Chains A and B, each alone.
Chain A
Amino acid sequence: MRFLDWAIVAAYLAYVIWDGIRMSKHSGTKEGYFLAHRSLPWWAVGLSVMATQLSAITLVGTTGQAYSDGMRFIQFYYGLPFAMIILCVTVVPFFHRANVFTAYEYLEKRFDVKVRALTSFFFLISRGLGVGTIISAPAIVLSIVFGWNLIATIFAIGLSTTIYTVFGGVQAVTWTDVKQMFVICFGLAACMIVIVSSFPADVSVADGLRLAGSLGKLDVVDTSFNLQEKYTIWSGLIGGLFLMLGYFGCDQSQVQRFLTAKSVDEGRTSLLMSAFLKIPMQFFILLIGVMVFVFYQFTAPPIVFNAAEVETCRNVSVCQHIEANYRDAHAVRREAAIAFRPELPESRTAYLEADRRFNETRKEAVNFVRSWSNPSFNDVNYVFPTFVLQHMPVGVIGLIIAAIFAAAMSSISAELNALATATTIDFYRRLYAPEATDAHYVAVGRISTFIWGIFACIVAIFATNLGSLIEVVNKFGSFFYGSLLGVFVLAFVVRRANARGAFFGLLFGITSVWSASRYTNIEFLWFNVIGCLVTVAAGYLISLTLRGEN
Chain B
Amino acid sequence: MDEEKLDTFWNKVYIAVVITTFVVVTAMWAFSRYFSS
Q: Which A residues have a C-beta under 8 Å from some C-beta of B?
A: 71, 74, 78, 81-82, 84-85, 88-89, 206, 209-210, 212-214, 216, 218-221, 262-265, 268, 272, 275-276, 279-280, 283, 342
Known: A74-B28, A263-B1. A276 touches B35 (CB 8 A): no
B24 adjacent to A275 (CB under 8 Å): no
Q: Are A283 and B17 in contact (CB under 8 A)?
A: no
Contact B29 A81 (CB under 8 A): no
Q: What 6 new A-B contacts, CB under 8 Å, besides A88-B14, A219-B36, A268-B10?
A: A81-B21, A88-B10, A89-B10, A212-B35, A213-B37, A263-B2
The interface on chain B, measured as residues whose beta carbon lies within 8 A of the other chain's beta carbons, has a size of 21
Given A84-B17, A88-B10, A268-B10: A283 and B36 within 8 A (CB)?
no
**CB neighbours of A210 from chain B (8 A):** 35
**Shortest Cβ distance from A40 into chain B, in angstroms?**
14
Beta-carbon contact of B35 and A81 below 8 Å? no
B28 and A220 contacting across the interface, CB-CB below 8 Å: yes
Partner of A275, one of B1, B17, B36: B17
Expressed in whole angstroms, the minimum distance between the Cβ of B37 and any Cβ of chain A is 7
Q: In the complex the two chains form, is A218's CB within 8 Å of B35's CB?
A: yes
Interface string of B1-37 (1 = CB under 8 A from A): 1101100001001100110110011001101101111
Identity of the chain B residue whose Cβ is nearest the Cβ of A85 in the assembled complex: B14
- Interface hub of A81, A206, A212 (most chain B Cβ within 10 A): A81
| Docked CA distance A55–B23 (Å) | 27
Q: How far is the CB of B34 from chain A (nearest CB, A)?
A: 8
Query: Which of B5, B17, B32, B34 touches A71 (beta carbons < 8 Å)?
Result: B32
Whether B2 pairs with A279 at a CB distance below 8 angstroms is no
- Smallest CB–CB gap between B23 and chain A, Å? 11
Contact of B31 among A88, A218, A263, A265 (CB under 8 A): A218
Given contacts A216-B36, A263-B4, A342-B37, contact A221 B29 (CB under 8 A): yes
- Chain A residues, Cβ within 8 Å of B21: 78, 81-82, 275, 279
Cross-chain contact B25 with A218 (CB below 8 angstroms): no
With both beta carbons as reference points, the residue of chain A lying nearest to B24 in the complex is identified as A279
Main secondary structure of the interface of B (DSSP, over half): helix
User: Which residue in chain A gives the minimum CB-CB distance to B22?
Assistant: A81
Question: A265 contacts B5, CB within 8 Å?
Answer: yes
Q: Nearest CB to that of B30 among chain A residues? A: A220
A276 pairs with B36, CB closer than 8 A: no
Are A283's CB and B28's CB within 8 A?
yes
Q: Is the CB of B18 within 8 A of A81?
A: yes
Q: Are B10 and A220 neighbours in the complex by a CB distance under 8 Å?
A: no
Query: B35 touching A206 by the CB < 8 A rule?
Result: yes
Are B17 and A85 touching (Cβ within 8 A)? Answer: yes
CA distance A283 to B30 in the complex (A): 13
22 contacts between A and B (CB under 8 A): A71-B32, A78-B25, A81-B20, A81-B21, A84-B17, A89-B10, A209-B35, A213-B35, A213-B37, A216-B36, A218-B31, A218-B35, A219-B36, A220-B25, A220-B32, A221-B25, A221-B32, A263-B2, A264-B4, A265-B2, A276-B17, A342-B37
Which of B4, B17, B28, B32 meets A81, CB within 8 Å? Answer: B17
B12 CB to closest chain A CB, in angstroms? Answer: 12
The answer for the CA separation of A71 and B33 in the assembled complex, in Å, is 13
Residue contact B32 to A219, C-beta cutoff 8 Å: yes
Q: Which residues of chain B come closer than 8 Å to A219, judged between CB atoms?
A: 32, 36
Are B13 and A272 in contact, CB atoms less than 8 angstroms apart?
yes
Write the nearest CB–CB distance from B33 to chain A, whole angstroms: 8
A539 to B10, CA, bound (A): 32
Contacts of A272 in B (CB 8 A): 13, 17
Cα–Cα, bound, A216→B28 (Å): 14
Shortest beta-carbon distance, A271 to chain B, in Å?
Answer: 10
How many Å lie between the Cα of A206 and that of B37 in the bound state? 12
B residues less than 8 Å from A78 (CB atoms):
21, 25
What residues of B have a CB within 8 angstroms of the CB of A279 in the complex? 21, 24-25, 28
Name the distance in Å between B3's Cβ and chain A's nearest Cβ: 9
Residues of B within 8 A of A265 (CB): 2, 4-5
Residue of A with least CB distance to B9: A265
- Chain B residues in 8 Å Cβ range of A85: 14, 17-18
CB-CB < 8 A to B37: which residues of A? 213, 342
Provide the bound-state CA to CA distance between A216 and B35, in Å.
Answer: 10
Minimum CB–CB distance for A362 against chain B, Å = 23
Closest Cβ of chain A to B7, distance in Å, is 9
Residues of B within 8 A of A280 (CB): 24
A3: min CB distance to chain B, Å = 40
Q: Is the CB–CB distance between A218 and B32 below 8 Å?
A: yes
**Across the interface, which residues of A come within 8 angstroms of B20, CB to CB?**
81, 276
* Chain A neighbourhood of B5, CB < 8 A: 265
Cβ-closest chain A residue relative to B32: A218
Please measure, in the bound complex, the distance between the C-alpha atom of A85 and the C-alpha atom of B11, giving whole angstroms.
9
Closest to B2 in A: A263
The winner among A206, A220, A264 for most chain B CB atoms within 10 A is A220
B36 with A213: CB separation less than 8 A: yes
**The 8 nearest A-B residue pairs measured at CB:** A213-B35, A213-B36, A218-B32, A209-B35, A81-B21, A220-B28, A85-B14, A275-B17
